[in-house]
Amino acid sequence: MTVCDVVIPTVGRPSLATALASLEPERERLGGRVLVVDDRPGGPPLPAPPWAEVIGGRAHGPAAARNDGARAAGADWVAFLDDDVQVVPGWAAALAADIAAAGDGVAGIQGRIRVPLPPGRRPTDWERNVAGLERARWATADMAFRRAALEAVGGFDERFGRAYREDADLALRLLASGWQLERGRRVVLHPVPPASPWVSVRLQAGNRDDVLMRRIHGRAWRRHAGAPRGRLRRHVAITGAGLTALAAAGLGRRRVAAAAAAAWAAGTAELAWARIAPGPRTASEVATMVATSAAIPAVAGFRAAEGELRHPRRLRPHGRRPRRPQAVLFDRDGTLVEDVPYNGEPGRVRPVPAASGALSRLRAAGVPTAVVTNQSAIAAGTLTEAQVDGVNRRVEELLGPLGPWLICPHGPEDGCGCRKPAPGLIVAAARALGVDPSACAVIGDTAADVGAARAAGARGILVPNAVTRPEEVRRAGEVAADLEAAVALLLEDGP
């Protein structure tokens, strides 16, 4: 399978032609497909070179367009580019190196964004705004995602209808599911696009999306996403002072009106100077900053209020509701039975308290099971295969038939593909049961069990015990108190 496809959502901006021209020399090294998602509501065919595949979007915004492109892609990885970036020479080779260096737990790799600014003068307010992309986390101007990770969390949340916060939302959901995000070495250029003098006022619509982020991810979302706090509270205070001045004037309260108007003027002046001071301070820039600073607080407050009214108090994070698994794969030691290190004596086998009830419920639901277990003691010579088989038979005597047993007899240094967290045991168990690995769930007590599930595209649930490390619990996507709780998650989440 091709390693990586490229998806470029667009509404037909002129910059698309430049973006594709920069990508053309990289095609041979890239190897994958280039998919341009035409997200316009209509119009003539989108001009594109013959090597770029144009697919129709739904005109529902960039999150939906990226989902459409990801679904059309067939590679293991999908690299999203904005239609106003330019890849630098060697970008495809650097992308391949970034992906090759990614571990199984890495869901996404961000490219490095460079914003060329005019030499010889200070940047304008708009130029500084665009240059902030150089410091942004997880910006989809150049972000490559493992397709299995996108599918695991349901892709981009289409409730974000603008090109704002949908990338941070996806990143937080991936991190919460136990995936990792990394910064790569590849580079793209993001020139500053032309914009209206009132662009800063238009951008206040992002305050509405910030409300959606808070509804989904809680009040600490900015800290987790690395997003600056912003000035919304100041904007609301300035707007309140202005409204108070108007109301007091209408009621004939001149002193109150004068004091409130002075507060409004001071707040507006402070905002304007904060934007003027680092800029070129030309006459046109100063005039633009003064005019827009008078409008920004009210518009920001209105957009935030709009978000408060539009979005319910509690929202679920986006993502498909997990399907009931077609098979459940269990780790053995520490999960089905008490962990006795290097146990070769059937008489020492003790099931964990919840094992019998959990298995009974799966059998009643008609869900087949299997066991996937690392047994490196065989490679070390501490145990023989016959001893391991004897213990396994005793487990089934106590708990009943468990389906196929998939055992890795190798040590950590053997470099096999079956030792968890490698996916080999999960893939082999799924094959033995006649199901796809992505339709399986894996229950275990270590990060290796959850990592093997993730690497195979299966659902992983961690059931901690006394030896499970706290960091393993923190990084697990799903955690259950015991086996019965884990099985309840699997069966009750289903249709």
CA distance 457 to 479: 17
DSSP state string for 306-359: HHHHHS-S--PPSSPPPPPPSEEEE-TBTTTB---TT---GGG--B-TTHHHHH
3-state secondary structure of 175: helix
235 lies in the same domain as 352: no
Phi (first) and psi of residue 45, to 5 degrees: -55, 145
DSSP secondary structure code for residue 479 in this structure: B
pLDDT in tens, 2-15: 689 999 999 999 99
Segment 44-72 shows an average pLDDT of: 91
Amino acid at 113: I
The fraction of the chain above a pLDDT of 70, given in percent, is 97
Of 168, 194, 220, the last residue of a domain is 194
What's the pLDDT score for residue 471? 79
What's the pLDDT score for residue 492? 76
Q: At what angle do helices 232-250 and 254-276 cross, to 10 degrees?
A: 150
39 lies in the same domain as 104: yes
Of 265, 298, 318, the last residue of a domain is 318
pLDDT in tens, 359-400: 999 999 999 999 999 999 999 999 999 999 999 999 999 999
Confidence of residue 216 (pLDDT cuts 50, 70, 90): confident
- Pick the residue with more confidence: 319 or 139? 139
179 lies in the same domain as 202: no
Helix (H) or strand (E) segment spanning residue 180: strand 180-189
Which CATH number characterizes residue 120's domain?
Answer: 3.90.550.10
Measure the N-to-C terminal CA separation of the chain; round to a whole number of Å: 32
How many independent structural domains does the chain possess? Answer: 3
Amino acid at 251: L
Residues 6+ apart with CB under 8 A from 135: none
117 lies in the same domain as 203: no
Whether the CB-CB separation of 156 and 64 falls below 8 Å is answered with: yes
What's the pLDDT score for residue 219? 85
What's the pLDDT score for residue 312? 72
Confidence of residue 428 (pLDDT cuts 50, 70, 90): very high
Of 284, 318, 352, the last residue of a domain is 318
136 lies in the same domain as 251: no
Mean pLDDT of the chain: 92
Q: Does position 477 have pLDDT exceeding 90, yes or no?
A: no
Confidence of residue 495 (pLDDT cuts 50, 70, 90): very low
Return the sign of the alpha-carbon dihedral for residues 176, 177, 178, 181. Answer: negative
CA distance 213 to 207: 10
- Pick the residue with more confidence: 337 or 60? 337
284 lies in the same domain as 345: no
pLDDT in tens, 164-188: 999 999 999 999 888 899 999 999 9
Q: Over the range 423-440, which residues count as b (16 or more CB within 10 Å of their CB) and which as e?
A: bbbbbbbbeebebebbbb
For residue 144, the enclosing domain spans 4-194
Give the CA count within 13 Å in the CB-facing half-sphere of 124: 19
What's the pLDDT score for residue 57? 87
What's the pLDDT score for residue 402? 96
97 lies in the same domain as 221: no
Confidence of residue 1 (pLDDT cuts 50, 70, 90): very low
Query: Which residue out of 38, 333, 445, 449 is catalytically annotated?
Result: 333
DSSP secondary structure code for residue 134 in this structure: G
136 lies in the same domain as 252: no
Whether the CB-CB separation of 371 and 329 falls below 8 Å is answered with: yes
Q: Does position 493 have pLDDT exceeding 60, yes or no?
A: no
Global model pTM greater than 0.85:
no
What's the pLDDT score for residue 172? 92
pLDDT in tens, 308-348: 998 876 666 666 555 689 999 999 999 999 999 999 999 99
247 lies in the same domain as 335: no
DSSP state string for 73-96: --SSEEEEE-TT-EEPTTHHHHHH
3-state secondary structure of 408: strand
CA distance 244 to 238: 10
Catalytic site includes residue 333: yes
The helix/strand count (H/E) of the chain reads as 20, 13
The count of other CB atoms within 10 Å of the CB of residue 361 is 16
Whether the CB-CB separation of 189 and 85 falls below 8 Å is answered with: yes
Conformational region of residue 91, where left means phi above 0, alpha means psi within -120 to 50, and beta covers everything else? alpha
Q: Which residues sit opposite 10 in a β-bridge? A: 38
What's the pLDDT score for residue 2? 62
For residue 32, give the nearest of 82, 71, 68, 79 by alpha carbon.
79
- Pick the residue with more confidence: 128 or 439? 128
170 lies in the same domain as 73: yes
Query: Which residue out of 68, 331, 445, 449 is catalytically annotated?
Result: 331
226 lies in the same domain as 182: no
Q: Does position 125 have pLDDT exceeding 60, yes or no?
A: yes
For residue 113, give the nearest of 26, 184, 189, 171 by alpha carbon.
189
For residue 387, give the nearest of 426, 355, 344 by alpha carbon.
344
Which CATH number characterizes residue 367's domain?
Answer: 3.40.50.1000
- Pick the residue with more confidence: 254 or 474? 254
Amino acid at 127: E
340 lies in the same domain as 271: no
CA distance 52 to 45: 13
Q: Does position 240 have pLDDT exceeding 90, yes or no?
A: yes
Before 353, cis peptide (omega within 30)? no
Catalytic site includes residue 209: no
